[in-house]
Chain A
Amino acid sequence: MSQLTQALEIGKFVVTGEIGPPKGVVLDKCLHDAEMLRDYVTAINVTDLQSAVMRIGSLAVSARLVERGLEPVYQLTCRDRNRLALQSELLSAWALGIENVLCLTGDHPALGDHIEAKPVYDLDSVQLLKAASSLNQGYDMAGHELESVPSFFLGAVVTPGAEPLEPQVIKMKKKIEAGARFFQTQAVYEPEKFERFMSQVQGFKVPVIAGIVILKSVAMAKFMNSNVAGISVPEAIILEMEETKKDDRKKKAVEIVARIIRQVKPFCQGVHIMPLGWDDLIPEIINQAELGLQVRTRRAEE
């Protein structure tokens, strides 16, 4: 059983982190980023061709984390693989020691760097969860019995700031029925809105890990406001950043994120911190948000 499963089962407030695989074959930088998170997170998400940009796969990087005694949340999208490939990748993941899987639709190729690629989407995220649940029960999607059976801890995503919210909640329910046992969310900047979302989904009784993206600049906040679905950074935060001296930007970023975490903590079961390269801020964020050290992830030598 993965540490993420255990932590959520005993009701511990979890912290997860995230790394992005590089466009190349040398993993030093992203494994270093993961190493920085070791003492502060229960598990580390590994993105799957994030933003539909071609790069090394989440499977290889997740496997390297396992090798180092770090626990990955292997992200798997429906964009690039049909149902044969998706199921096969899941079996491969289990064989490589990967237990946590986050099932996503995936950004459309039109958003990435290979815009002429064929979008696959043979399955959607609900169907992928169902297929993965079926593998957990020993059968593939065609109903054929597996010779040996995995036991994935399956997760999914939801956008608490979506407008309208209702279709997201309907789909969230379908994801749970299809086997999702935890949720990680799109970045949260409006704790009140998040609280309203949580009150709507409380009855679902599935742990929700709130997404936290470190705000690196005013430009980034404004870009997300006009381009990224379900994210709206309040004017007050933008103003706060504008009034900050350049040298204090990182300090301010920590302060804002830590404050949001303290505000959302009473309503959710954990936070998923996406540092976007500012990994060195994680210890101070954890400290200011009063989260303490996480279940220390296994070290390879143990």
Chain B
Amino acid sequence: MHATIQKPIDEISKYLRSGEGVFVIGCDNCAAKCHSGGIPETREMAERLKGSGVNIIGWCVPQPPGVSLCKLANTKRVLQEEYGEQVKAADSFLVLACGQGFHTVMDATDGGVVHPGCDTIFGGETVTDNFITEYCSLCGECIVEYTGGLCPVTLCAKSLLNGPCGGAKNGKCEVDRNRDCGWQLIYERLRMLGRLDEMDKYVMPKNNSRWSRPRSLTIGEGEATFRSLSGERRVASHT
């Protein structure tokens, strides 16, 4: 899940030039779940902007139900076939979705002018319908085998790999005394699992070249290829 939160409407209004014809686009997957760009939010954004004098050409949340805006083929089909006339008439597109969905609209409209209507805040677990939280930082080099399945890159404010700093008090982190110390959680879990010896092992510094952006994944016949500054990593995949 890519978690998103809407930008303030005053900020969005500043992006739009006088008389600009705007088509508003949401996402029926992650943004819908975050209530930042589903059908009700996209309709409401279009209506509020229209009410404040913006030239709204129309709005849509590409279907079928639950589909992600970041699936280019679907988004392109919907925008060019189902909303072809409005898309042609629009000067720009306001996207209520994550940064990937945002760029998908740019591709689907052959390089149209796109405005971000949301901030993309993190990739997270949908713990309940009302709570999403971050357990992975997408670093490209998973080390949770050694930390009881809890990622210190994400759960520790300093992303420390070899144990806690001296800043935790009563199990809470120095940056926010309401937040659990990630290493306290890791320590307790390893102890519970009877695998505390994992904490004795030296963990090497991260290979940040695997965290270099932009990265890509190509899924080919029988193999998948990950490309980053660390080079190409090819693995066999099921065909």
Using a CB–CB cutoff of 8 Å, the interface residues on chain A facing chain B are 78-79, 83, 105, 107-108, 110-111, 119, 121-127, 130, 141, 157-159, 162-164, 166-168, 170-171, 173-174, 177-178, 186, 227-230
> Which B residues are in CB contact (< 8 Å) with A163?
170
> Would A126 and B202 count as touching, CB distance under 8 A?
yes
Chain B residues, Cβ within 8 Å of A170: 163, 196, 199-200
A174 touches B163 (CB 8 A): yes
**Could you say which residues of chain A place their CB within 8 Å of the CB of B175?**
108, 110-111
List 10 additional A-B contacts (Cβ < 8 Å) besides A108-B175, A121-B158.
A108-B158, A108-B167, A125-B162, A162-B168, A164-B187, A167-B184, A168-B164, A170-B200, A171-B164, A174-B202
Give Cα distance in the complex from A157 to B184, angstroms. 18
Q: Report whether A227 and B169 are in contact in the complex, using a CB–CB cutoff of 8 Å.
A: yes
Query: Taking the nearest CB of chain A, how far is it from the CB of B165, in angstroms?
Result: 4
CB-CB under 8 A from A125, the residues of chain B are 160, 162, 165
B174 is an interface residue with CB less than 8 A from chain A: yes
Residues of B143-187 whose CB lies within 8 A of A = 157-170, 174-176, 183-184, 187
Also in contact, A107 and B163, with CB within 8 A (given A119-B158, A170-B200, A178-B202): no
- Give bound CA distance, A126 to B161, whole Å: 9
- Contact among B159, B183, B187 for A121, CB-based, below 8 A: B159
Shortest Cβ gap from B203 to chain A (Å): 8
Q: Which residue of B lies closest to A126 (CB)?
A: B162
Given A108-B174, A167-B184, A119:B164 Cβ within 8 A = no
Complexed CA–CA distance, A167 and B181 (Å):
12
In chain B, positions 191-226 with a C-beta closer than 8 Å to chain A are 196, 199-200, 202, 204-206, 208
9 pairs of A and B residues whose beta carbons are closest in the complex: A171-B163, A126-B162, A159-B166, A105-B165, A110-B175, A124-B160, A229-B169, A121-B158, A167-B187
Q: Nearest residue in B to A131 (C-beta to C-beta)?
A: B205
Complex interface: chain A residues within 8 A of B199 (CB): 167, 170
Residues of B participating in the A interface, judged by any CB pair closer than 8 Å = 157-170, 174-176, 183-184, 187, 196, 199-200, 202, 204-206, 208
List residues of chain B with CB within 8 A of the CB of A157: 166
Partner of B205, one of A127, A171, A230: A127
Q: Which residue of A lies closest to B176 (CB)?
A: A110
Which A residues are in CB contact (< 8 Å) with B176? 110
**Are the C-beta atoms of A123 and B205 separated by less than 8 Å?**
yes
CB contacts (< 8 Å) of A141 on chain B: these are: 205
Would you call B160 and A107 a contact (CB within 8 A)?
A: no
Q: Which residue of B lies closest to A158 (CB)?
A: B166
Q: Shortest beta-carbon distance, B88 to chain A, in Å?
A: 42
Assess the B158–A229 pair: CB atoms within 8 A: no
Chain B CB count within 10 A is highest, among A141, A159, A167, A173, for A167
Q: How far is the CA of A101 from the CA of B30 in the complex (A)?
A: 48
| A228 touching B169 in the complex, CB below 8 Å, given contacts A108-B158, A127-B162, A171-B163 | yes
Q: From residue B141, how far is it (CB to closest CB) to chain A in Å?
A: 14
Given contacts A122-B208, A174-B202, contact A108 B166 (CB under 8 A): no
**Set of chain B residues within 8 Å of A174, measured between Cβ atoms:** 162-163, 200, 202
| Of A124, A158, A168, A173, the contact of B158 (CB 8 Å cutoff) | A124
How distant is the Cα of A242 from the Cα of B174 in the complex, in angstroms?
29
- Bound-complex Cα distance A177 to B202 (A): 9
Chain B residues within 8 Å of A228, by CB: 169
The reply to whether B200 and A173 contact each other, CB–CB distance below 8 Å, is: yes
